[in-house]
């Protein structure tokens, strides 16, 4: 019996050495096949092929033929680290089960496997690129926030348990009342997001606009879009957008109330400068001067009206030449701003 366990340990050790050897000497350095990915992830060759088909079915930008040269699969050095990460996460038992995947445990495992895969399988350049993207930073913060939430709930339960009966009843009643409207508020936010997403998708289809990888909503989808660019021979780094468009988009979101966190990453300076530049335009400047001859900025009501008129003028100015792509840039920088503020407050 002991001898059998010894053989099993030796076999497992050899398997681990092979995995490390592939990661250190072949992955991201030379073309590999299903056998190498199977050894790294700990599954069979057939499972690799099945999972790859699953990914291609889920993401329309992936085509199974792009991974083949003739009959055999061939995964090129420029993107096989990205593919290995996606294969590993798509092989999770709960990946195909919406109920399991949406559970707290299933979702956190999904994020942990993604983050571990990025740190294990990607080369230095890809790892730096992905880690600089907001979806990676958001995933890391999300895991921390889950832990923090569970810790706080645990503290509440412990404190309630130590209270006398009557005080415990009052406290529980107060907590329940405070949480009563939270689900409906969350549902409202979610429905608004889905509506905006559908409107953007419709506008993009009508204008034949192609979504860029920079604005994917979650980490897995970002990795897929980055893989797609690598399959097309592109590097996935886009520096072509002008800073004026970004500033205008951010200011528009601030005026509409969609942007509330601007005190990081130079965004506050950018928004302020954009606002000042617009208000200095001759036509807008003349209009405001006329309004100020009628309204008294020292009066509260007049100041509210003045602020409202200024916002309207800003929105009118920014409506010229605005497009979906610039709005998506704004959303991306907003997300980075929020993430930066959370990190600063930790």
Instruction: Give tens-digit pLDDT for 290-306.
Output: 888 888 878 888 888 88
SS3 state of residue 32: strand
Nearest to 28 by CA among 108, 84, 89: 84
Structure token pair of residue 48: 């690799």
Overall average pLDDT of the 265-281 stretch: 72
Determine the pLDDT at residue 95: 84
What are the tens digits of pLDDT across the range 67-123? 987 778 999 999 999 999 999 999 988 787 655 556 778 889 999 999 999 999 999
> In whole angstroms, what separates CA 178 from the centre of its chain?
29
Determine the pLDDT at residue 220: 93
The answer to whether 85 and 122 are in contact (CB under 8 A) is yes
Contacts of 334 (CB under 8 A, 6+ apart): 250, 253, 258, 259, 261, 267
The answer to whether 48 and 91 are in contact (CB under 8 A) is no
Determine the pLDDT at residue 243: 46
Residue 322, pLDDT above cutoff 90: no
Q: How many residues does the chain have?
A: 346
Contacts of 213 (CB under 8 A, 6+ apart): 222, 225, 226, 228, 229, 236, 238
Query: Which region among 20-29, 133-142, 282-291, 310-319 has the lowest average model confidence (pLDDT)?
Result: 310-319
What are the tens digits of pLDDT across the range 155-186? 988 999 899 988 998 898 888 888 888 888 88
Q: Where do the domains of the chain lie? A: 2-131, 243-345
Quote the CA–CA distance of 271 and 249 in Å, as a whole number.
9
Determine the pLDDT at residue 251: 60
Determine the pLDDT at residue 242: 38
Backbone angles phi, psi at 311, to 5 degrees: -60, -40
Structure token pair of residue 299: 């009066």
Long-range contacts of 89-95 (CB under 8 A, 24+ apart): 89/113, 89/114, 89/117, 89/220, 90/51, 90/54, 90/55, 91/41, 91/43, 91/47, 91/51, 95/54
> Token match 């900025």: residue?
297
> In whole angstroms, what separates CA 126 from the centre of its chain?
16
Whole-number percent of the chain with pLDDT over 90: 27
> Of residues 249 and 20, which shows the higher confidence score?
20
**CA distances from residue 152 to 156, 158, 168, 178, 317 in whole angstroms, order as listed:** 6, 10, 17, 15, 46
Nearest to 78 by CA among 15, 43, 10, 125: 125
**Bridge partners, residue 73, by sequence:** 68
Across the chain, what does the average pLDDT equal?
Answer: 76
Sign of dihedral through CA atoms 315, 325, 327, 60?
positive
Give the DSSP letter of residue 42: T
Residue 328, pLDDT above cutoff 80: no
Query: What stretch of H or E contains 90?
Result: helix 80-90
Structure token pair of residue 88: 């590993």
Whole-number percent of the chain with pLDDT over 70: 67
Determine the pLDDT at residue 268: 66
Determine the pLDDT at residue 134: 78
């Amino acid at each position: 019996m002991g001898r059998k366990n010894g053989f099993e340990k030796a076999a497992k050790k050899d398997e681990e050495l092979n995995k490390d050897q592939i990661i250190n000497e072949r992955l991201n350095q030379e073309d590999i096949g299903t056998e190498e990915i199977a050894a790294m992830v700990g599954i069979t060759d057939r499972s690799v092929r099945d999972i790859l088909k699953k990914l291609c079915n889920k993401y329309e930008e992936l085509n199974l033929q792009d991974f083949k040269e003739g009959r055999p699969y061939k995964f090129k050095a420029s993107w096989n680290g990205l593919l290995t990460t996606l294969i590993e996460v798509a092989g999770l038992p709960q990946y195909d089960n919406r109920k399991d995947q949406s559970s707290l445990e299933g979702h956190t495992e999904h994020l942990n496997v993604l983050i571990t895969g990025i740190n294990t399988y990607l080369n230095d350049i890809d790892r730096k690129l992905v880690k600089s993207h907001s979806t990676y930073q958001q995933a890391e913060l999300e895991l921390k926030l889950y832990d923090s939430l569970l810790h706080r709930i645990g503290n509440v339960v412990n404190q309630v348990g130590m209270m006398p009966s009557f005080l415990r009843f009052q406290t529980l009643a107060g907590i329940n009342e405070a949480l009563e409207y939270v689900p409906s508020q969350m549902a409202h936010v979610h429905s608004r997001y889905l509506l905006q997403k559908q409107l953007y998708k419709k506008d993009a289809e009508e204008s034949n606009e192609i979504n860029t990888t920079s604005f994917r909503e979650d980490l897995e989808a970002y990795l897929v879009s980055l893989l797609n660019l690598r399959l097309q021979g592109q590097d996935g780094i886009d520096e072509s957008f002008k800073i004026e468009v970004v500033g205008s988009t951010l200011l528009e979101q601030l005026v509409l109330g969609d942007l509330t966190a601007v005190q990081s990453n130079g965004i506050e300076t950018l928004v302020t400068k954009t606002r000042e530049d617009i208000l200095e335009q001759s036509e807008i400047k003349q209009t405001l001067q006329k309004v100020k001859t009628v309204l008294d900025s020292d009066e509260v009501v007049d100041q509210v009206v003045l602020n409202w008129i200024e916002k309207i003028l800003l929105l009118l100015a920014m409506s010229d030449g605005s497009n979906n792509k610039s709005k998506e840039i704004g959303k991306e920088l907003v997300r980075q701003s929020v993430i930066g503020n959370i990190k600063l407050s930790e």
